[in-house]
Amino acid sequence: MALKFARPVHPGEYLREEYLKPLSMSPGALAKKLGLPRTRIERIAREEVGITTDTAMRLARYFGTTPQFWMNFQVAWEIETAERELAETLEKIEPMAA
């Protein structure tokens, strides 16, 4: 059974709240350390865009995590968001008989 949150947690929220704030680091400073445009990390931290594989690999290297850690956050957010948006439509689909 998949882990469910009271609301979907965007990977940018997690990055901002669990890494940037405790480290007193700006998105721009992190972007510089990762060799990325400042706007990419700013937009992720503002939850405007998701995390790409490229960004996940850089975050993993810098923070000592894994790319899967970051991609799992992204995928979970996308699935939970889509499930909420498609709930009525999905209810109308009758599962295939066994």
Closest of 16, 52, 18 to residue 37, by C-alpha: 52
Which residues neighbour 89 within 8 Å (Cβ) at sequence distance 6 or greater?
A: none
pTM: 0.84
SS3 for 61-89, per residue? HHHCCCHHHHHHHHHHHHHHHHHHHCHHH
pLDDT in tens, 10-33: 999 999 999 999 999 999 999 999
Structural domains in the chain, sorted by start: 11-90 (1.10.260.40)
Give pLDDT < 50 ranges for the chain: 1
**Do residues 38 and 32 make contact, with C-beta atoms less than 8 angstroms apart?**
yes
DSSP 6: S
Cα 17 versus chain centre, distance: 12
Q: Report d(CA 34, CA 55) in Å as an integer.
A: 8
Q: Which amino acid is at 16?
A: R
Q: What is the pLDDT of residue 98?
A: 79
**Do residues 79 and 11 make contact, with C-beta atoms less than 8 angstroms apart?**
no
